[in-house]
């Protein structure tokens, strides 16, 4: 999967300067539970610049995925709002591509048809949908699997297709919900490298949910840390390492120090959550 050698329309990078500005403004999200309302996210605010790669990090139950789903338009905040490029988010939109942990491909469609589905529905891409899909299959290195079905591909290959399918609509924002969580460690590292290659080429704004501190620091320009539920944004950590990055950076003393800082914040929040559950 090598984005640098991929034949794709050059307008794919058209949003790198002025598209993909995400504003999360005082967002609180509440769900109905058996014992009453459950506040999943409380007063979250963040400003994500066009082309920025931001990771949401936090302990289990911190509302990371819930907040991501609010940006996607799948969930409506009880308070506050999300804006993308100045427009309030009121529902899903192809300008916000989503990649889930589970591969979410249509099992009855071929790999080529899966990627072509979005452009066929939206008319985006500037070319016939199948041509757009073939371009992206080349980009992810799976052109010879065009006529295969998802069940015939490994988990890592399916997730590459999922990323290509999301990007085939040329979204201004790519939302990723622990997309590599189900992969083995070696495949995960390879997928992280591949994702950075694609992001450096497209410069689409990325909001990436993970519980893995190393993954967050390796991928992101900035790490936003959320508290134990109800999820609040309690820290923003800038990642100073230059790009392009390789996995070897994880052994760097600066990386180790940043990891320790993030781990200490999350450990403190996890202890709070544990103590609340006991009482």
> Which residues contact residue 170 at a Cβ distance below 8 angstroms, ignoring those fewer than 6 apart?
11, 12, 14, 15, 124, 125
Angle between helices 155-167 and 185-202 (to 10 degrees): 20
Average pLDDT over residues 219-230: 93
Give tens-digit pLDDT for 1-40.
544 433 334 444 444 457 999 999 999 999 987 778 889 9
Decide which of 9 and 207 is more confident. Answer: 207
Consecutive H or E run containing 219: helix 213-219
Give tens-digit pLDDT for 85-108.
999 999 999 999 999 888 789 999
Q: Which stretch of 117-126, 129-138, 161-170 has the lowest confidence by average pLDDT? A: 117-126
Model confidence at 137, pLDDT cuts 50, 70, 90, reads very high
In order of their start, the domains of the chain are 13-106+173-278 (3.40.50.300)
Q: Considering only CA atoms, which of 82, 1, 6, 92 is closest in space to residue 47?
A: 82
Torsion, Cα of 18, 26, 87, 55 (10° steps):
40
**Cα separation, 256 vs 262, whole angstroms:** 10
Q: Considering only CA atoms, which of 205, 253, 207, 261 is closest in space to residue 234?
A: 261
Average pLDDT of the chain?
89
pLDDT at residue 220 above 70? Answer: yes
Give tens-digit pLDDT for 164-190.
999 999 999 999 999 998 888 889 999
User: Which range, 13-17, 121-125, 239-243, is most confident?
Assistant: 239-243
Q: Are 194 and 156 within 8 A, CB to CB?
A: no
User: Which range, 80-84, 91-95, 268-272, is most confident?
Assistant: 80-84
């Amino acid at each position: 999967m090598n984005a640098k050698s991929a034949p794709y329309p050059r307008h794919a990078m058209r949003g790198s300067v002025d598209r993909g500005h995400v504003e999360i403004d005082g967002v609180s999200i509440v769900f109905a539970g058996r014992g009453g309302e459950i506040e999943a996210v409380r007063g979250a605010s963040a400003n994500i610049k066009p082309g920025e790669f931001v990771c949401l990090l936090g302990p289990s139950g911190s509302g990371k995925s819930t907040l991501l789903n609010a940006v996607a338009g799948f969930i409506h905040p009880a308070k506050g709002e999300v804006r993308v490029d100045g427009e309030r988010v009121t529902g899903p939109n192809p300008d916000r591509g989503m990649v889930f942990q589970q591969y979410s491909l249509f099992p009855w469609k071929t790999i080529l048809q899966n990627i072509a589905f979005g452009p066929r529905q939206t008319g985006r891409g500037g070319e016939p949908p199948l041509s757009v899909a073939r371009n992206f299959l080349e980009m992810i290195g799976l052109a010879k699997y065009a006529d295969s079905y998802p069940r015939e591909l490994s988990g890592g290959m399916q997730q590459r297709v999922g990323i290509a399918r999301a990007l085939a609509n040329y979204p201004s924002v790519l939302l990723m919900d622990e997309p590599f969580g189900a992969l083995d460690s070696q495949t995960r590292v390879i997928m992280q490298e591949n994702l950075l290659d694609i992001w450096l080429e497209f410069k689409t704004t990325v909001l990436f949910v993970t519980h893995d501190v190393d993954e967050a620091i390796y991928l992101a320009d900035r790490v936003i840390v959320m508290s134990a539920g109800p999820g609040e944004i309690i820290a923003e950590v800038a990642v100073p390492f230059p790009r392009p990055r390789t996995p070897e950076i994880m052994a760097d003393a600066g990386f180790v120090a940043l990891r320790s800082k993030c781990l200490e914040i999350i450990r403190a929040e996890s202890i709070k959550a544990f103590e609340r559950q006991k009482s």
